[in-house]
Chain A
Amino acid sequence: MKLTVRQIVVAGLLGAIAILLGATRLGFIGPFPPLLPVSATIMHVPAAMGETDR
């Protein structure tokens, strides 16, 4: 499997966004419903964007 330089860079930067969203909890929307630790998430967005940018 050979990755191009752009693929390497995009994967790295989107990985950084995923780490950031998880570490700061900005990637979690909730709790939903209130009082329960169940959150909706947008953590999958970097992965989806990486796939569309290939």
Chain B
Amino acid sequence: MEDFELLRHVTIGQYFPTGSPLHRLDPRVKIIGVVALVGTLVTLQSASGVLIGLVITFALIALARVDVQFALGGLAPALQILVFLAVLQLVFGWSARVTNCHSLWSFWLLNVTTCSIQAVVVLLARFAALFLLTGLLTFTSTLSELARGIEWLLRPFQRVGVPADELAMVFTIALRFVPTLALEMEKLLKAQAARGANIQSGSNPVARTRQLLQVLVPLFINTLRRSDDLTAALEARGYTGGAGRTYYIRLHFQRADVVALLVVAALILGLFALPFGMFDQSVLNMLATK
């Protein structure tokens, strides 16, 4: 029965109203902060730097008072491919031939080097940090806050024809309906299982695709029906897209928002400026001498 609990693996789009300091920040600050941290973690090459980034991410999750176990739960579906990538990265340490990496173990084409260990640490820590950071954005902001933040950030691009308000609405609808459609899919899976269908197992891809159709076709039909209702509801409330739309609650930068931006800037500067590369090299040299 656990196979049918789709919501357990869909952490994206869920909001936890814990009233933490992160919840009270302006959504624009949270979006800018998360994008900046994600950019930093993608650019950093040092293992210790990325690990520090992961620690910062866990600290932010603790500050947001979100259950870490739940936040990490969304990683479960990606674990298989992640472990496979990590093993590939570990055993094909060919870079030892061209750089100053030390070989720790080798057999035929397989070669575990100090650099491949570093690469595995970077891969795993970076993936976990990126996943948790993007989740943190939706854990701490309501969808309407995020939509207004995105719209504000996209506003400069309206001059070149980007429909900022419409894109923000698409984003809001997409995230809002993820849990709803997950519940609907659970119902469909259970209904088909009750009729004897075995959808989530089987090795024959053609048979599995056919079995999936039993769930996907009703899901798409229900979704398109729902889209008609939602369109009618939006139009009945006078929504016509971006032109002339006003908001009841307007966003204002507070002192805490400025402080948060400065903290993020300081963290990013620290991650780039500190000599993590030298620390990595000394750890790798220690590994090689053992």
Give A28 Cβ to nearest chain B Cβ, in Å.
9
Write out the residue numbers on chain A whose beta carbons fall within 8 Å of the beta carbon of B178: 16, 19-20, 23
Interface of A is mostly: helix
Give B134 Cβ to nearest chain A Cβ, in Å.
12
A38 to B148 Cα, complex, angstroms: 39
A1 to B159 Cα, complex, angstroms: 11
Interface of B is mostly: helix
Give B7 Cβ to nearest chain A Cβ, in Å.
9
Q: A6-B227, A42-B209 given as contacts; is B9 within 8 A of A23 (CB)? A: yes
Q: How many residues of B contact A (CB 8 A)?
A: 49
Residue contact A40 to B205, C-beta cutoff 8 Å = yes
Q: How many residues of A contact B (CB 8 A)?
A: 32
- Interfacial residues, chain A to chain B (CB-CB below 8 A): 1-6, 8-17, 19-20, 23-26, 29-30, 32, 34, 37, 40, 42, 45, 49, 53
Closest 10 A-B residue pairs measured CB to CB?
A: A12-B173, A15-B174, A16-B177, A3-B166, A25-B77, A12-B170, A37-B84, A16-B174, A12-B174, A6-B231
Q: A5-B234, A14-B223, A26-B215 are in contact. List 12 more A-B contacts (CB 8 A).
A: A8-B169, A8-B241, A13-B224, A17-B223, A20-B6, A23-B77, A24-B10, A24-B77, A24-B182, A26-B185, A29-B205, A49-B220
